[in-house]
Amino acid sequence: MKIKKVCLMAASLIVAGAAIATSACSSKANGGKLVVSTFGILTKQMRSDVLNPFAKKNNVKVSAQFTADTTTSLTQIEHNPNSSVDVIEVAQKNAYAGAKKKLYKKVDFSKIKDFKYLSSSEQKLAKDTGTVPYTVNSVGIIYNPKKVHITEWDQLWSKKLKSKIAIPDITNTFGPAILYIAGRHAKVSVPSDGGKAAFKAMKELKPNVVKTYDQSSDLSNMFKTGEISVAVVGDYAISMLQATNPELKYIVPASGTYSNSNVVAILKNSKNTDAAYKYINFRLSQAIQKKCASAKSLNNAPVNTQVKLTHAEAANKTYGDVAKRAKNMNFFYVNSHLPSWVNQWNKIMNK
């Protein structure tokens, strides 16, 4: 029996405390294979808009591991030289961490057709880490307007919000950004004092925080049950949260925000480098960047500067005016201080 395409979902595996769902999508002819490790949010859209079209177009058999914690995935790969993963999609802090641990192959940027269309800052990130950015996101505030109105970061410290807020944990993609926001509230930049003033501000914020979350998907039910009225969240999760709670509003404060680029890297032990380069080129292509920018898709802001979005398409993305207000964090600095910050954070926020 001839089958043009078969998609199988394997049972969920619990690995190091993280649930990883694996799917395999194969084309009718074996033109190569590729194992992709990526984020576990919006997995249906990732399969339908990226993985399946890539497999079909390139005759590549694609297996995907979806995980809520890319830091854990990277650590597992580091300690497993026999890992079958070829390419991994991770947040910016993991791009630097993986590069420092020499987990990635050296990238031949001449093989990436649209690399020249990345911004100078994205090209620098790529060359600094040996990875390739495919989207940029930033952090903002989502809230229930029936219960609260909020426009600026400093309002998170209002006594009116006691036991009403959820924030990402320090180990989350935007966990370090919370510390930087606290430093701004204290009017002392984090690098200037190593975060001392910021942690003092976090102690002041603690009464308002119901939960420090690991996965943004945790927030859906918390809003639905009224457990929280406000959350600090990355814009990549907005379409998912508003799908389950349509009344929620999302804002990026006029005072600015912090950005994060998600990147794709070819792992050092990959045996499918040709397919990996095809995948990176597919990810950066104008057609796929435009498709994935849709709120009905992955809500990924494009990094290919040839992709233009309308005002409606740009909503809830790090694009245009929001991108201009987004500041970069120095992740070499962040990663070097993170172990100490995690200990301080846990003593204040998670006891």
The pLDDT tens digits for 147-199 are 999 999 999 999 999 999 999 999 999 999 999 999 999 999 999 999 999 99
Rounded-to-integer distance, Cα 244 and Cα 260, Å: 25
Per-residue pLDDT of 2-19, as tens digits, reads: 444 333 333 333 333 333
Whether 204 shows a pLDDT value over 60: the answer reads yes
Q: Which CATH architecture has domain 138-258+328-349?
A: 3-Layer(aba) Sandwich (3.40)
Beta carbons within 8 Å of 117's beta carbon, 6+ residues apart: 284, 304, 305, 306
- At 68 the pLDDT is 78
CA angle at 238 for the pair 212 and 311, rounded to the nearest 5° = 145
SS3 for 202? Answer: helix
Per-residue pLDDT of 87-114, as tens digits, reads: 999 999 999 999 999 999 999 999 999 9
SS3 for 33? Answer: strand
Per-residue pLDDT of 112-157, as tens digits, reads: 999 999 999 999 999 999 999 999 999 999 999 999 999 999 999 9
- At 31 the pLDDT is 60
Rounded-to-integer distance, Cα 133 and Cα 128, Å: 12
Can you give the pTM of this predicted structure? 0.87
Per-residue pLDDT of 324-350, as tens digits, reads: 999 999 999 999 999 999 999 999 998
Confidence of residue 71 (pLDDT cuts 50, 70, 90): confident
- At 25 the pLDDT is 52
- At 17 the pLDDT is 37
What proportion of the chain, given as a percentage, has pLDDT over 70? 91
- At 7 the pLDDT is 38
Using the structure block, give the residue that is written with the tokens 């854990």.
72
Beta-carbon count within 10 A of 340 CB: 11
- At 70 the pLDDT is 83
Taking the C-alpha atoms of 280, 282, 286 and 287 in order, what is their torsion angle to the nearest 10 degrees? -150
- At 5 the pLDDT is 37
Per-residue pLDDT of 233-284, as tens digits, reads: 999 999 899 999 999 999 999 999 999 999 999 999 999 999 999 999 999 9
What proportion of the chain, given as a percentage, has pLDDT over 90? 83
Rounded-to-integer distance, Cα 227 and Cα 296, Å: 27
Beta carbons within 8 Å of 152's beta carbon, 6+ residues apart: 253, 254, 255
User: What does the domain layout of the chain look like in residue ranges?
Assistant: 6-136+261-325, 138-258+328-349
Rounded-to-integer distance, Cα 70 and Cα 39, Å: 7
Beta-carbon count within 10 A of 105 CB: 17
Q: What is the mean pLDDT of residues 13-26?
A: 41
Reported as half-sphere exposure (CB side, CA atoms, 13 A), residue 123 has a value of 13
SS3 for 165? Answer: strand
Contact assessment for residue 291 and residue 123, using Cβ atoms and an 8 Å cutoff: no
Contact assessment for residue 293 and residue 299, using Cβ atoms and an 8 Å cutoff: yes
SS3 for 335? Answer: helix
Q: Which CATH class is domain 6-136+261-325?
A: alpha beta
- At 267 the pLDDT is 97
Please give the backbone phi and psi of residue 155, each rounded to the nearest 5 degrees, phi first: -70, -20
Cα 84 from chain centroid (whole Å):
22
Cα 209 from chain centroid (whole Å):
22
